[in-house]
Amino acid sequence: MKKIYTISIILVLFAAVNFAQDSTAAKVGEVKDALTGLNESYLETKATVDALKKIKISGYIQSQFQSIESDGAATFAGGNFAAGMHNRFMVRRGRVKFNYDNDLTQFVVQVDITEKGFATKDAYVSFIEPWMKTFGLTAGIFDRPFGFEISYSSSNRESPERSRLFQTLFPGERDLGFKLEVRPQEGPLSYFNLKAGLFAGNGVNPETDNNKDFIGRLGFSFPFVDENLAIDGGISAYMGKVIVPAGKSLITVNSPTLATTTIPSDDADRSYLGADLQLYYELPLLGRFTLRGEYISGKQAGSSSSNASYTAAPSGDIYLRNFMGYYLMWVQNLGEKNQFVLKYDVYDPNSDVAGDDIGANAAAKLGAPDIKYSTLGIGLVHYWDDNVKLVFYYDSVSNETSSKLAAFNSDLKDNVFTFRIQYKF
């Protein structure tokens, strides 16, 4: 009996140990499963966070008040005034930009929201090759690679608007196409860069013909660190075409007496050459100042009533004019929060004629689109904090006069004052 009792106790203890082992193993398994689940959840969360970190959202809004000399005046300071109005409130720009930056690749969309509506400003993809990180490609809607002022952001620019020259030749600044960019990372060539591509040629609008326009800029950047000096610049070229509608003429307006009218076998040339230069220097006591300048000349295909670049398919005769234009700009820092701005720009849409040539002879087909303009802008910029910028700016606009053209017997009353508040994040 004693042996049976002992054996029974041993069996009970053995069963209990086995049960405890099974229970412990089950609990360990549960813990391992829980840890595995937590690890998977962590990895999923980390992947989501890493992806969100690549999304960059930025933007700015420019609210402003303007006053001009006469009711309903035409202006390049944010668009013409409405009939009967000589002052106005407006949201000049309301931009929101989304950028997914994956180091070597980028997805960018930017929209503009104002009282006038909703508009697409940028929509492009870009990528850089991973070996030398020298060659890049961009495709979609983006800034035309010509000169300096086009690609200089409106949120950073010290004057409220781009020069009349650029607004006329490159309305909206952007176009639909692709560009190749070359930026060497090392060696002597690292001071140079090239941007060049093919574009639709009519801005952010659907294509209207089979022509593709070439736009390119060869730039340079020379830093002189010890001298507190930097010099940047470049040369740019635009080579494009404008279709002459069937049955319409190409009219070359380059004479004060007689325009040349032809029925072309080819499309009208649209060609520009430009040069730009920027100098940055640190002055003792006053602080940093910037000098900028650009010059452009070439052939512009317009109409009888406008010298602006076409943004849609033309329907009438094409007027071909030789033009030239430039701007000079000085920005002087005054302490840490203020800047003084002085800018002078000139746009001559027809450099072959002047003054009383315009309107003197009907056969010359000269009119308002051939009038030369110059603008002197004076401004003060105050940086309230890291986000808010205040701009006080006055444009004094002068136009060429002609005693033969009634609307331009004297200087137009189109000087304009702008007060702007910008918030940028």
Instruction: Provide the CATH number for the domain around residue 107.
Output: 2.40.160.10
Q: Which two tokens stand for residue 288?
A: 């940093």
Q: Which two tokens stand for residue 185?
A: 């990372």
Q: Would you call 76 helix, strand, or coil by DSSP?
A: coil
| C-alpha dihedral sign at 346, 197, 124, 46 | negative
d(CA 232, CA 276): 8
Is residue 120 domain-resident? yes
d(CA 291, CA 278): 6
Domain that holds residue 382: 55-424
Q: Are residues 9 and 116 in the same domain?
A: no
Q: CB 30: neighbour CB atoms within 10 A?
A: 10
Q: What global pTM score does this model have?
A: 0.88
For residue 69, the model assigns a pLDDT of 98
CA torsion 181-187-190-193 (nearest 10°) is -40
Q: Are 274 and 296 spatial neighbours (Cβ–Cβ below 8 Å)?
A: yes
What are the pLDDT tens digits along the chain (425 aa)? 555 555 555 554 454 445 445 555 555 566 566 667 667 676 667 777 777 889 999 999 999 999 999 999 999 999 999 999 999 999 999 999 999 999 999 999 999 999 999 999 999 999 999 999 999 999 999 999 999 999 999 999 999 999 999 999 999 999 999 999 999 999 999 999 999 999 999 999 999 899 999 999 999 999 998 899 999 999 999 999 999 999 999 999 999 999 999 988 889 999 999 999 999 998 877 789 999 999 999 999 999 999 999 999 999 999 999 999 999 999 999 988 999 999 999 999 999 999 999 999 999 999 999 999 999 999 999 999 999 999 999 999 999 999 999 999 999 999 999 999 999 99
Q: Are residues 11 and 121 in the same domain?
A: no
Is residue 357 domain-resident? yes
CA atoms within 13 A on the CB side of 95: 22
Is residue 283 domain-resident? yes
Is residue 49 domain-resident? no
The number of distinct structural domains making up the chain is 2
Running DSSP on this structure, what letter comes out for residue 362?
G
Give Cβ neighbours of residue 201 (< 8 Å, ≥ 6 apart): 175, 211, 212, 213, 240, 241, 242, 270
Is residue 227 domain-resident? yes
Running DSSP on this structure, what letter comes out for residue 355?
G
Q: Are 376 and 346 spatial neighbours (Cβ–Cβ below 8 Å)?
A: no
For residue 48, the model assigns a pLDDT of 74
Whose tokens are 């000269």? That residue is: 366
